[in-house]
Amino acid sequence: MADAVGTQQLGFGVDVGGSGIKGAPVDLGRGALAAERVRIETPQPATPEAVVDTVARVLEESGAPEGPFGLTLPSVVTDGTARTAANIDPSWVGTDVRALVRERTGREALVVNDADAAGLAEVRFGAARDVRGTVLVLTLGTGIGSALVRDGALVPNTELGHLELDGHDAETRASDAARKRDDLSWEAWTQRLTRYLRHVDALLWPDLVVLGGGVSKKSEKWLHLLDVRPPVRPAELLNDAGIVGAALLAVESTPRVGTPPA
């Protein structure tokens, strides 16, 4: 539920990552954190129960207001249930995350894939704001996360990092982790990224591609080397994107949060 402070509308988002779980209130008018975020290390092993306990601590330590909040996971999520598990424990697969959070915290959570949350935040408030048509947001990190947004509406769980590239899973070739693992120069890595983006472009014909992850802070080293059809921009919201997107989705779907599918 959003809190109004004057004309300020607040939501709350929690972003679960492989190394840290971060949460903060979000000013939904500006798409920015309204207070300093609270970060607690992700428990190991990152089982559902241990992670949700940590999420509860983040909510408590940050003074999160009562009501629904947004929660990201490195997972495909359908109807509040985790269907895959990346950088978290395999026991997440098949977990009803919404029910587990409700039981542990007494709150309703809008559970969403982490790349989807970050992508929607970039469309509403970041590098793709005011862009009509089809926007593809890719996060280049340990793997490749993807978010596809058409005229402001999210198409969830696209998982485009798992397309085939040069006979391999694309994220094992074109992610930032692949660049580091294979000790690639920026030029060599950008050649791989160009092939990947051309493949995605042939399938989706996006009007804009936004590239996030740690490499977005170093775009001057590689952006000019890309040779692709659609315009490409580096992400703007960086580490706050997941929190912002989760809070936004929770507020916009408040009437439906916790409602069982028909």
Condensed to tens digits (0 to 9), the pLDDT of residues 148-175 reads 999 999 999 999 999 999 999 999 999 9
Q: Which helix (H) or strand (E) holds 158?
A: none
Q: Are residues 149 and 90 in the same domain?
A: no
What's the pTM value of the predicted model, to 2 decimals? 0.91
Q: Are residues 90 and 134 in the same domain?
A: no
Q: Is residue 68 part of a domain?
A: yes
Tally of domains in the chain: 2
Transcribe 173-204 into DSSP letters: HHSHHHHHHTT--HHHHHHHHHHHHHHHHHHH
**Number of helices followed by number of strands (H, E) in the chain:** 7, 16
Q: Are residues 19 and 90 in the same domain?
A: yes
- Looking at residue 200, what is its pLDDT? 98
CB 25 within 8 A of CB 251: no
Q: Give CA–CA dist 199/1, Å, rounded.
A: 40
Q: Are residues 205 and 155 in the same domain?
A: yes
Output the tens digit of pLDDT for each of the chain's 262 residues.
445 444 569 999 999 998 999 999 999 999 999 999 999 999 999 999 999 999 999 999 999 999 999 999 999 999 999 999 988 899 999 999 999 999 999 999 999 999 999 999 999 999 999 999 999 999 999 999 999 999 999 999 999 999 999 999 999 999 999 999 999 999 999 999 999 999 999 999 999 999 999 899 999 999 999 999 999 999 999 999 999 999 999 999 875 444 444 4
Q: Are residues 8 and 90 in the same domain?
A: yes
Q: Are residues 157 and 227 in the same domain?
A: yes
Q: Are residues 103 and 7 in the same domain?
A: yes
Region of residue 252 (left: phi > 0; alpha: psi -120 to 50; beta: else) = alpha
Q: Which domain holds residue 25?
A: 3-114+241-252
Q: Give CA–CA dist 219/186, Å, rounded.
A: 10
Q: Is residue 225 part of a domain?
A: yes
Q: Give CA–CA dist 123/137, Å, rounded.
A: 8
CATH assignment at residue 47? 3.30.420.40
Q: Give CA–CA dist 260/157, Å, rounded.
A: 19
Q: Are residues 161 and 198 in the same domain?
A: yes
Q: Is residue 97 part of a domain?
A: yes
Q: Is residue 262 part of a domain?
A: no
Q: Are residues 155 and 201 in the same domain?
A: yes
Q: Are residues 137 and 106 in the same domain?
A: no
Residue 233 one-letter amino acid: R
